[in-house]
Amino acid sequence: MLKISEFSKLSHLTVKALRFYEKEGLLKPAYVDEWNGYRFYETSQLEVAAKIKSYRQLDMSIEEIKAVFSGSDVKGIMQKKLNALAKEKQVIESRLSIIKSILEDKEMKYQVTEKVISEKIVYTAETVLKTYSDSMQWIPFVGKECLRLNPDLKCAEPPYEFCEYLDGEYKETDIRIRHNEAVTAFGKENEHIKFKILPETKVLSIYQKGPYDAIGEAYAFLMKYAEQNGYTAAGLTRKCYIDGIWNKESEEEWLTEIQLPIEQ
């Protein structure tokens, strides 16, 4: 038998680690002297120690290792770990790309972030506009119509509203648009106003400051970013008007958030 110090040297595990694995039930000594508490290990336990060490180097948790030792499907656990590491790699590569751009003194006009929009109740309305700028008159009209139907209805906090463009391509005129705004409950509907559940959605987000005729560049940047970083689109882009003609005098002060839904 090997004393704990000898077993530590052969297994390349510290005495502290061996005591921890004993406490967790992963690697118990073959014999403990009841008089002095000295711990002894069999040489055959070196194989178990090696497995624990290799699994820990793969960033497996103690619970995952216990599951493997209890007979759980090793391939299934490894597949979950592979998926988690792949997502982590994607995040790291995205951060590396941004850092490299900063180090190379490239202009960082847009900053992309990833966030999750929680499930919401929204009212929606669709129409066809002659020009994009007509949306600034149509959206308030939709809000007034919904409020007329539902005078006690309240907007969700924090507020969340966005427009989706339904044509699938850029159009100068006759633009199909859908407006969505989060509210606290379902309400009365008519031929224009409808209510639905908007499921939880993960999105890529960027902010565009300035007139709306410059938004095409922001869209292009976001789509290229998604493609280069391995994201898969999972829905129509969302345009969230934060500041605009209703509260800013200059077009240069207008602020729009563009969100691209991506696969969870």
Position 208 pLDDT exceeds 90: no
197-206 pLDDT per residue, tens? 999 999 999 8
Contacts of 248 (CB under 8 A, 6+ apart): 254
State the average pLDDT for the chain: 87
Question: What confidence category does residue 217 fall into, taking pLDDT thresholds of 50, 70 and 90?
Answer: confident
Question: What confidence category does residue 77 fall into, taking pLDDT thresholds of 50, 70 and 90?
Answer: confident
Contacts of 29 (CB under 8 A, 6+ apart): 4, 22, 39, 40, 41
Answer for the pair 162, 178: CB distance below 8 angstroms, yes or no.
Answer: no
Place of tokens 């691209």: 260
Q: What's the whole-number mean pLDDT along residues 213-217? A: 76
Sign for the pseudo-dihedral over CA of 166, 172, 174, 178:
positive
pLDDT at 188: 95
pLDDT at 187: 95
The residue among 171 and 185 whose pLDDT is bigger is 185
The secondary structure element, H or E, covering residue 114 is strand 113-117
Question: What confidence category does residue 107 fall into, taking pLDDT thresholds of 50, 70 and 90?
Answer: low
CA 153 to CA 124: how far, in whole Å?
14
Question: What confidence category does residue 137 fall into, taking pLDDT thresholds of 50, 70 and 90?
Answer: confident
Q: What three-state secondary structure class fits 261? A: strand
pLDDT at 134: 83
pLDDT at 104: 64
b/e map of 64-84 (b: 16 or more CB within 10 Å)?
bbebbeeeeeeeebeeebeee
Tell me 33's DSSP state: -
pTM summary value: 0.59
Position 113 pLDDT exceeds 90: no
pLDDT at 14: 93
